[in-house]
Structure 1
């Protein structure tokens, strides 16, 4: 596997969520992700609770491939950056263990710089250092 600075990767990963234009967002995704990469999200507690009430034992949300990941990132941008005025940043805690990179992240008010949320990210890298799988745990 190629040498990768885990903090640099974490910073680039978080930056993709704040790219305002579609072409730039797609380019960022293609630089970061394997073509068949999968983004796997543990939904927030309220979604998991509703799903459990409906009889779902396991609740995960997945987006696979460039197009699906681009849609996921674009919707997140629209909801959190455009509408709520947040930005996202990696915490300075990224570590790599073989083909895994783990780091925390923060959702931050662009206006006040107050931290309004965050989570944990675990990235599984392919042999080229691109993201093969991304496990996102908001609120962790």
Structure 2
């Protein structure tokens, strides 16, 4: 598997964190994905640590209903930093209701930081 494939797989697991409706499973996945002290930052919040990140995602999920996040494309990745696009929309098909970009900082195959941008 190439490094870009590894990064894309990590990004897809990260979006699974946003899509999982189960709070306990989401917390467990956040602990697996993020380094100790890992952060998630977007225009609305800076959350530090897996528990805070999972709690923020739980609150945000209430706004999404049945919408799901999907990977758009991996734009670039090098030196432990990757940039990818995402879409939020109906499962399976349809026009997305939101799109954006995430920049992720990777340490030892885990997320040290995620910066989310809405397009």
**TM-score bucket of the superposed structures, by smaller chain:** 0.7 to 0.9
Which of 56, 76, 80 matches 2:60?
A: 76
**TM-score, reference length from structure 1:** 0.75
Runs of 4+ in 1 over 6 A off after TM superposition: none
RMSD value over aligned CA atoms? Answer: 1.8
C-alpha spacing 1:119/1:21, structure 2 compared with 1 (3 Å): same
Q: Higher Cα Rg: structure 1 or 2?
A: 1
**Uncovered stretches (5+) of structure 2, i.e. residues with no partner:** none
How many pairs were matched up?
116
CA distance in 2, matches of 1:93, 1:129: 16
Higher relative contact order (CA 8 A, sep 6+): 1
For structure 1, the 5+ residue unaligned runs are 44-60
Matches within 5 A, 1:101-112: 101-110=82-91
- Partner residue, 1:31: 32
**Aligned residues of 2:68 and 2:88 also touching (Cα < 8 A):** yes
Give the TM-score, by structure 2 length.
Answer: 0.87
